[in-house]
Structure 1
């Protein structure tokens, strides 16, 4: 059954967010860019049953079932980006692929902190990666988004959407001030698998180096696309198993009991 109310509200949110457009402002030496995705998220949060009550619990359940479908469309879009930048990607492929191992650092930092804060199975979803679109889809497929792991990944996803673009935009300009890395290296670092974060940070670099704008945006897009593709396999083969293993080892240290298993009531 179609939920026309849900589709109508989503359309209105999209139109309002796109009409607002990009908002740029300076913070010290850095530039902050606010994207329509951020406005859409905040408006959507305001309309929930705990906000203005425009949407009810049934609407929320219907919306959650569409997340995986929409993320598949985004992954298909990532695939179409590879063609125009293929020569540059091949030239830079070793660096682009090796940077994926850096994403595993979130596990060794995040799991101990999450357990210390009192999270249980939410730790798995929250810390196995930076929890962007592809990772949300992965956790939803492996564990389901209504479980503890789903709550963990969605929590980090929402926080990343709200604060991630601001953080990445500032970080790109601040690191560039150090003049340690070539603009192309910074462009590759922009692509962590998040369209909003990559757009914000690459946009800042492109405004700093207008003569290199096309190359910066191409490398950032290629890096982001690869992070969404090979980063997904990195999470499947290494990220999730490593997070599960570390969670089982560290949870008893904090709580004195065995770590809860998948699907176990907490």
Structure 2
């Protein structure tokens, strides 16, 4: 209770968001589902120093330190849904593990696009993954968050937090309505390492397939948990080196010169960025 104002504001936002409840809109054969967490997120944005100035920079820094704890509670809740469907999840384990190769998709699509838009070393942090908490830690350890790579990963992290929840909810509904993909596969695909994005996508799928709600939630939660476990190693050993390699080639194609070499963060002086 060090910062009582933050706790009070969170309580008010949660009460208001829950009072609004889940809103569903028909979109062709699909359904757009807006969850209370989205309302809380939007209201929180407007309380920031850039808008209504209800909170200051110190309040935001204090709140940021609680994100991991809050997500632990959410994932503990999802963990209770995994147990009853564990046999089904075990049968699908190869698919859950192989989906981590999807990290490479962000590299081969994101890097050329970022370089074309004029980004430099920010491309490395922005396009090596979907930039959630483990990826921020990885970039911070290798390059430092005060460098260009750190700016890139933080930019995508913030954009994903604000836009990603809505995008994932819409994307899940679209694919469920217009493609032959099974709802279970879509639930697996929603577990990219972000609890909020996964919740939005599974919420949309559950609204369309209420009879599958428990299994969909279990698949999404299990997939998200595995993404947090092996996704970091996938980024470290595959996607980050691939990002560096592709960035250098895209940079040469665009500017006609070799990309400037940047030293990685010094292990002997971890406080110094690049």
Q: 1:59 to 1:217 in 2, by over 3 A?
A: closer
Match of 1:25 in 2: 25
Range 222-231 or range 142-151, more displaced: 142-151
**Which deviates further from its counterpart, 239-248 or 108-117?**
239-248
Aligned residues: 265
Give the superposition deviation at 1:243. Answer: 1.9
Change (3 A) 1:24 1:261: farther
Question: Helix, strand or coil: the match of 2:31?
Answer: strand
Taking the TM superposition and a 5 Å limit, the aligned residue runs for 1:75-224 are 77=76, 80=79, 83-178=83-178, 180-224=180-224
Q: CA deviation at 1:152?
A: 2.1
CA distance in 2: counterparts of 1:170 and 1:86, whole angstroms: 28
CA contact (8 A) 1:188 1:220 kept: yes
Q: Which shifted more, 143-152 or 71-80?
A: 71-80
**Whole-angstrom CA distance in 2 between matches of 1:96 and 1:123:** 28
- C-alpha change, 1:23 and 1:150, in structure 2 (3 Å) is farther
- Whole-Å Cα distance in 1 between the matches of residues 88 and 250 of structure 2? 42
TM-score w.r.t. the length of structure 2 is 0.79
Unaligned ranges ≥5, structure 1: none
* Higher alpha-carbon deviation: 224-233 or 66-75: 66-75
Whether contact under 8 Å (1:75, 1:134) holds in the other structure is: no
Change (3 A) 1:16 1:178: closer
Structure 1 position 137, deviation (Å): 4.2
Asked whether the equivalents of residues 198 and 224 of structure 2 are also in contact (C-alpha less than 8 Å), the reply is yes
Q: 1:51–1:31: structure 2 CA closer, same or farther, 3 Å change rule?
A: same
Alignment deviations for residues 73-130 of structure 1 (CA, whole Å, 9 cap, x no partner):
3697499465444322221011111111012110111011112212233222211112
Change (3 A) 1:80 1:249: same
Conserved 8 A contact 2:126-2:156? yes
- Is the Cα contact below 8 Å between 1:122 and 1:151 reproduced in 2? yes
Distance 1:252 1:57 in 2: 40
2:227 aligned residue: 227
In structure 2, distance between residues paired with 1:38 and 1:147: 31
Please, what TM-score do these two structures have when normalized by structure 1? 0.81
The answer for unaligned runs of 5 or more in structure 2 is 266-271
Q: Are the structure 2 counterparts of residues 34 and 260 from structure 1 closer, same or farther at C-alpha, using a change threshold of 3 Å?
A: farther
Q: Do the aligned residues in 2 keep the contact of 1:248 with 1:259 (CA within 8 Å)? A: no
Q: Deviation of residue 146 (structure 1)?
A: 4.7
Contact 2:71 2:195 in 1 (8 A): no
Helix, strand or coil for the counterpart of 1:32?
Answer: strand
Partner of residue 69, structure 2:
70
6-15 vs 218-227, which moves further:
6-15
Structure 1 stretch displaced more, 76-85 or 225-234: 76-85
CA distance in 2, matches of 1:220, 1:105: 20
